[in-house]
Structure 1
């Protein structure tokens, strides 16, 4: 399911601003059918936004997630989530728990925070677009 990430693509994606990383995330996740979070023996990694909002960070590839897992978070490992399960269960669960999503965050950069339902809507639109192209 996971796609092959070349060094050229990785380096280019890491130079994108938050809005372009969001678009990259949507395209890659819709094509590959999976997204990535970070997990340790106690569960998933959650972050606090600038507005003190609890957020689940997600990435389009395990390598991007691994780049976040440094320093105090080095013990976290990438955890795959299928897009189908994300759309069927995670979106509602995160919404009910009042947890937002940080999409493709990069350390030291401005990162985009999205409501789970809005992220699901963007993913579903991209899936529809790909289905029409097929």
Structure 2
């Protein structure tokens, strides 16, 4: 299980940001740390759907905000760290096969943004 990467107080402040600020903060954190966070357990990663039934992979900029948003939902689930280079090389091709998009920094089941994979890849590439 991932340890806290920011304080609980910092995480609670981030959870209160509006959607645009959460998107900005997510890309800033990914660029600065070279990692992002998803939620799941040893065998499964959390995916959601939107109103159009698109598969979405929720991501968070910090383990602590992912934990505050999801902890307690399902026993054994936790924040999972993924290095950006691994995400681009291994995860994006699999997500393309699965016809999934990226849900940025959801809070109370509301995504800050849903970004198609090509756009997500481009935004990450320009920040590296």
Q: Normalising by the residue count of structure 1, what TM-score does the alignment of the two structures yield?
A: 0.81
Q: Give deviations 1:92-115, integer Å, cap 9, x for gaps.
A: 221121011111111154531111
Q: Quote the offset at 1:77 in angstroms.
A: 0.9
SS in 2 for 1:80: strand
Structure 2 residue runs without a partner (length 5+): none
- Identify the residue that residue 130 of structure 1 maps to in structure 2: none
Q: Which runs of 5+ in 1 are unaligned?
A: 128-134
**Count of aligned positions:** 126
Counterpart CA distance in 1 for 2:54 and 2:21 is 22
TM-score (norm 2): 0.85
Alignment-derived partner of residue 50 in structure 1: 51
1:91 to partner: Cα distance: 1.5
d(CA) in 1 for partners of 2:91 and 2:41? 18
Pairing of 1:52-71 with structure 2 (within 5 A): 52-70=53-71
Deviation per CA, 1:53-99: give whole Å up to 9, x if none: 11111111111111222454354211111111011121222112101
Structure 1 consecutive aligned stretches of length 4 or more whose deviation exceeds 4 Å? none
SS at match of 2:108: coil
- Bigger relative contact order (CA 8 A; separation at least 6): 2
Structure number with larger C-alpha Rg: 1
**Structure number with higher helix proportion:** 1
Q: RMSD of aligned C-alpha atoms? A: 2.1
